[in-house]
């Protein structure tokens, strides 16, 4: 890259909020025709740095250079004039307008004092054809998929003749096929000379796309690696400040106690979930399978969020009749949903209120809450799970993804559960937060809590589970134990590629 002129340089950037430095002396150099990935734990300063670049924030100190010349960015218009476009993780389009109207929003073409929609659609279609988009310029954005809406965002950047495109966790809501299509598009744009800054916590994406990777930690620049220098162990060390030779650090010596949960041939109104599943005190049981296999539906039935039509659930040997989640909580069952923003957290409420949400009814007397007791619960949870907040009264929606996940877990830790169901516990969090969540799971198991973990990440299932149940098409098709817990065995059961694996109970 040294033989090229940098298209963008950010030198010694600092950003202070009150007395807190979100960024301190951070420098970043970007060249045309490269994908430069930016990594770091949630809260490391990645988004803050990019918001400065996009004009959403103004730097407290530092300089920005475009094509080797100083350039002041005091607002979004300055960034656009510099050829910089930031595509946020949350799509920023007007859903009631057409694709063309979104592309030209704020700079509409006119003829005789009227908006010239035909000309706007013609020019937009040229850009869409360049991207090989499968929708028309006249399509309403609300009718497009998330992946197609991302293409609209990219088309808008191309129409503005942007030369630097920043993408913040662009695959978070995409399917595998949509992700492949996005990667093909990114590689095409790179070949055309566009500089792309790619923010992601997913190692596989970093390996596939990156020409270089830069790492931030605690608001400071740690270093950069060329593609040929990339290794998972080195990236993890740079991000968390210590090597993680054993990310999962599973304690295999935890004694297993009495049977806590037993499920037999559960069905709901829509799906048959046949097979037997059980979890003992101190066990971490993995529940694996392809998307649509019925894993989440099974968890929702145990928790009372989905009606059980037939079958049997036992808790500590006694038949369990749960009509709703309140009944489950009263029985000592906690449930971490896979969709924390829509089904888990109250984003506008405080961290404190989110933590004590499940214990309010238990701890109130004659309808009166003990504020002192609730504050002790939230303060203990924040400390135990290392939730990074200045105080418990900040809004949950202001936290990073990893801290939001730990916040939601802390709600269930606070009820002192007998059974804790975790549906995709580390989805959308960085490696540092993952390590802390794994530590929490081990500590809970050591205290005798039975844990049922649903995960689509096979290394997580293999690394954390004492036993693994595999589901396929609504049925539990196998149970893996000991050395039989491998990614290959799990996938063979999940896809139906085998009928017998050594050390496996197959349904």
Task: Give 18-70 pLDDT, tens digit per residue.
Answer: 777 889 999 999 999 999 999 887 678 898 999 999 999 999 999 999 999 99
Distance CA 195, CA 216 (A): 19
Q: Do residues 229 and 285 share a domain? A: no
Domain membership of residue 230 (yes or no) is: yes
pLDDT of residue 393: 73
**What range does the domain containing 78 cover?**
8-240
Instruction: Determine the straight-line distance between the first and last CA of the chain, rounded to whole angstroms.
Output: 56
Q: Do residues 102 and 233 share a domain? A: yes
Q: Sorting pLDDT into bands at 50, 70 and 90, what band is 358?
A: low
Residue 390 has pLDDT above 70, yes or no: no
> Between these two residues, 148 and 273, which has the higher pLDDT value?
148
Domain membership of residue 478 (yes or no) is: yes
Contact between 402 and 433 under an 8 Å Cβ cutoff? The reply is yes
Which of 227, 318, 293, 321 is closest to 454 using CA atoms?
A: 293
Which of residues 205, 240, 275 is at a domain's end?
Answer: 240
Q: Do residues 204 and 277 share a domain? A: no
Q: Do residues 330 and 440 share a domain? A: yes
CA-to-CA dists, residue 360 to 167, 356, 373, 389, angstroms: 41, 6, 10, 22
pLDDT of residue 57: 93
How many CB atoms neighbour CB 303 within 10 A?
Answer: 23
Contacts of 7 (CB under 8 A, 6+ apart): 30, 31, 32, 66, 67, 163, 164, 195
Contact between 193 and 16 under an 8 Å Cβ cutoff? The reply is no
Q: Do residues 219 and 280 share a domain? A: no
Residue 366 has pLDDT above 50, yes or no: no
Q: Read off the pLDDT of residues 67-117 as tens digits, 9 standing for 90 and up.
A: 999 999 999 999 999 999 998 877 888 999 999 999 998 889 989 889 899
Q: Do residues 190 and 315 share a domain? A: no
Which of residues 189, 208, 240 is at a domain's end?
Answer: 240
Q: Do residues 306 and 163 share a domain? A: no
pLDDT of residue 141: 94
Q: What is the pTM of this model?
A: 0.59
Domain membership of residue 194 (yes or no) is: yes
Helices 146-159, 117-130: crossing angle, 10 deg rounding: 110
Q: What is the mean pLDDT of the chain?
A: 84
Q: Do residues 211 and 64 share a domain? A: yes
Q: What angle do CA 183, 184, 190 make, to 5 degrees?
A: 90
pLDDT of residue 505: 57
Q: Do residues 214 and 282 share a domain? A: no
Domain membership of residue 494 (yes or no) is: yes
- Strand 467-472 and strand 419-423: the pairing is unpaired
Q: Do residues 270 and 159 share a domain? A: no
CATH number at residue 55: 3.40.50.300
Domain membership of residue 419 (yes or no) is: yes
Contact between 415 and 332 under an 8 Å Cβ cutoff? The reply is yes
Q: Sorting pLDDT into bands at 50, 70 and 90, what band is 346?
A: low
Least confident range of 6-20, 166-180, 283-297, 320-334: 166-180
Q: Do residues 269 and 235 share a domain? A: no
What SS3 state is found at 183? helix
Work out how many domains the chain is built from and give that number.
Answer: 2
Distance CA 324, CA 335 (A): 12
Which of 425, 431, 387 is closest to 244 using CA atoms?
A: 431
Which of 162, 301, 475, 182 is closest to 494 using CA atoms?
A: 475
């Amino acid at each position: 890259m040294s033989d090229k002129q940098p298209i963008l340089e950010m030198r010694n950037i600092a950003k202070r909020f009150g007395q807190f430095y979100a960024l301190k002396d951070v420098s970043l150099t970007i060249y045309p025709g490269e994908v430069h990935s930016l990594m770091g734990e949630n809260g490391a300063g990645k988004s803050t740095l990019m918001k400065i670049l996009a004009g959403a924030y103004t730097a407290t100190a530092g300089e920005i250079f475009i094509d080797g010349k100083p350039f002041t960015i005091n607002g979004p218009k300055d960034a656009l004039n510099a050829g910089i476009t930031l595509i946020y993780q949350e799509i920023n389009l007007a859903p009631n307008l057409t694709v063309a109207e979104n592309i030209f929003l704020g700079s509409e073409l006119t003829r005789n004092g009227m908006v010239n929609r035909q000309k706007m659609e013609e020019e937009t279609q040229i850009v869409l054809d360049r991207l090989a988009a499968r929708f028309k310029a006249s399509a309403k954005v609300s009718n497009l998929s998330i992946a197609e809406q991302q293409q609209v965002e990219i088309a808008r950047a191309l129409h503005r003749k942007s030369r630097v495109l920043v993408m913040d966790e662009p695959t978070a809501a995409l399917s595998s096929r949509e992700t492949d299509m996005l990667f093909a598009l990114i590689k095409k744009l790179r070949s055309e000379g566009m500089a792309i800054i790619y923010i992601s916590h997913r190692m596989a994406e970093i390996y596939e796309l990156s020409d270089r990777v830069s790492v931030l930690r605690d608001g400071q620049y740690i270093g950069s690696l060329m593609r040929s220098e990339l290794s998972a162990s080195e990236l993890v060390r740079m991000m968390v400040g210590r090597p993680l030779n054993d990310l999962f650090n599973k304690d295999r010596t935890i004694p297993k106690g009495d049977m806590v949960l037993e499920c037999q041939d559960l069905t709901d109104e829509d799906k048959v979930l046949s097979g037997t599943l059980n979890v003992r005190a101190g066990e971490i049981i993995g529940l694996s399978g392809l998307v649509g296999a019925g894993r989440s539906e099974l968890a929702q039935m145990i928790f009372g969020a989905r009606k059980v039509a037939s079958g049997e659930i036992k808790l500590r040997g006694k038949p369990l009749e749960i009509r709703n989640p309140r009944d489950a909580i009263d029985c000592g069952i906690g449930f971490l949903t896979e969709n924390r923003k829509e089904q888990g957290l109250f984003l506008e409420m405080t961290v404190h209120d989110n933590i004590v949400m499940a214990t309010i009814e238990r701890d109130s007397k004659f309808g009166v809450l003990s504020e002192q007791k609730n504050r002790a619960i939230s303060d203990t949870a924040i400390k135990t799970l290392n939730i990074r907040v200045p105080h418990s009264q900040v809004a949950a929606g202001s936290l990073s993804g990893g801290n939001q996940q730990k916040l939601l877990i802390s709600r269930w830790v606070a009820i002192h559960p007998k059974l804790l169901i975790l549906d995709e516990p580390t989805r959308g969090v960085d490696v540092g937060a993952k390590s802390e969540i794994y530590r929490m799971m081990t500590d809970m198991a050591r205290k005798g809590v039975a844990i049922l973990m649903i995960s689509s990440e096979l290394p997580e299932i293999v690394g954390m589970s004492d036993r693994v149940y595999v589901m396929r098409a609504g049925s539990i098709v196998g149970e893996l134990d000991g050395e039989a817990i491998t990614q290959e065995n799990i996938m063979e059961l999940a896809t139906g590629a085998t009928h017998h694996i050594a050390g496996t109970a197959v349904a």
